[in-house]
Amino acid sequence: MKRFYLGIDLGGSEVKLAVVDEKGAIIDKNSFSNNYLSTPKDVAAKITNYAKKLKGFGRVSATGIGVAGDIDQKTGVVRFSPNMKNWKNIHLGAMLKNKLPSPIVIDNDANAAALGAFWLDAKGAAKNLICITLGTGIGGGLIFGGKLYTGSTGSAGEIGHIPIDPYGAKCNCGNHGCIERYLGANYLSESARNDPKIQKSAIINKLVKGDLSAITPKILSTAALKGDKNALRVWKCYGEKLGIILSAVINLLNPDMIVLAGGVSKAGPLIMGPLVKTINDRAFKTAARKCKVIISHYTKRLGVVGSALLTKN
Ligand SMILES: [Zn+2]
């Protein structure tokens, strides 16, 4: 009989739960809304409650939870989560013990997403895989030899917080000039709003009804698809910047596959051309040819499926 796993993707606005089989196929799923002020006790109680409603829960043999932030995988402690106020050194694993099927493993949400990409996008075949989530934050997860790599203290893969500019803007992590400040959704919207040519674009003004503060990556994609030259330029530039980062990733780690996920990755077709060209121009040739770069087909479920399979790792 197939083994079943429970996955929980603990996000700042929504908590997703699913029972999945050992290949990552979803047996049943549900979710509840969450917010920045929710207490650990309240979230833990809701998780237990919603998990028990899932079909197949009785057959679950292990639980995995993905949470944004700094996680101590060994002790199941959320050291810090940027999405949740006052979540500091929370023993989430201990709080859920005896309530959900054990073992219970907790990891960073980007690590969970990388495992999701490994099982869903790569079907378990690309043994060295890097997953990069492009959203408000830029997350990264590393799979080496088919296993998640978390480093010495659990924080490996924080690609968004690689500092690249000594005089760059301040990042949420406290540092300056992190990659996240150049590729994060907020930065993308902010720099577009301040771009004089974007401000004058008739297509964009029509889309946001004259309110430039409403410019988002989604608006920029829509405008680009309608042929707006300036929006197309924004995405070309984004693709080139991301291509430079991926060239660094390819030269450092020589992966089989890089999977792009997260909200901003929906602009995929607009960024892939400049991105691939930049990689071909800048990364080591043999390594670049070997590395397949794709947009995840499963962005919305990577986190919950990958979380479920954390214990299988
Ligand atoms: Zn940072």
Sequence-separated (6 or more) residues with CB below 8 Å from residue 266:
217, 218, 221, 299
Q: How many angstroms separate the alpha carbon of residue 274 from the centre of ligand 1? A: 25
**Ion ligand 1: residues, CB < 5 A:** 161, 171, 173, 175, 178
- Encode pLDDT of 195-229 as tens digits: 999 999 999 999 999 999 999 999 999 999 999 99
- Encode pLDDT of 120-163 as tens digits: 999 999 999 999 999 988 999 999 999 999 999 888 999 999 99
Q: Would you tell me how many other CB atoms lie within 10 Å of the CB of residue 74?
A: 12
Q: How many angstroms separate the alpha carbon of residue 91 from the centre of ligand 1? A: 25
State the amino acid at position 98 in one-letter form. N
pLDDT at site 147 = 95
Q: How many angstroms separate the alpha carbon of residue 159 from the centre of ligand 1? A: 9
Give the C-alpha separation, 286 to 13, whole Å: 42
- Please give the radius of gyration of the chain, using alpha carbons only, rounded to the nearest integer: 20
Q: How many angstroms separate the alpha carbon of residue 177 from the centre of ligand 1? A: 7
3 state DSSP class of 68: coil
The predicted model gives 74-95 an average pLDDT of 92
- The reported pTM is 0.92
Q: How many angstroms separate the alpha carbon of residue 138 from the centre of ligand 1? A: 9
Q: How many angstroms separate the alpha carbon of residue 85 from the centre of ligand 1? A: 18
Residue 313 has pLDDT above 80, yes or no: no
Closest residue by Cα to residue 36 from 78, 83, 77, 1: 83
pLDDT at site 83 = 83
Q: How many angstroms separate the alpha carbon of residue 180 from the centre of ligand 1? A: 6
Residue 262 has pLDDT above 80, yes or no: yes
Q: How confident is residue 2, by pLDDT bands cut at 50, 70 and 90? A: confident
pLDDT at site 302 = 96
pLDDT at site 312 = 86
Give the C-alpha separation, 53 to 48, whole Å: 9
Alpha-helical (H) ranges within 83-228 are 92-96, 109-120, 180-183, 185-193, 196-200, 202-207, 217-225
Q: Give the burial class of 110: count Cβ atoms within 10 A of its Cβ; 0-12 exposed, 13-18 middle, 19 or more buried.
A: buried
Q: How many angstroms separate the alpha carbon of residue 302 from the centre of ligand 1? A: 23
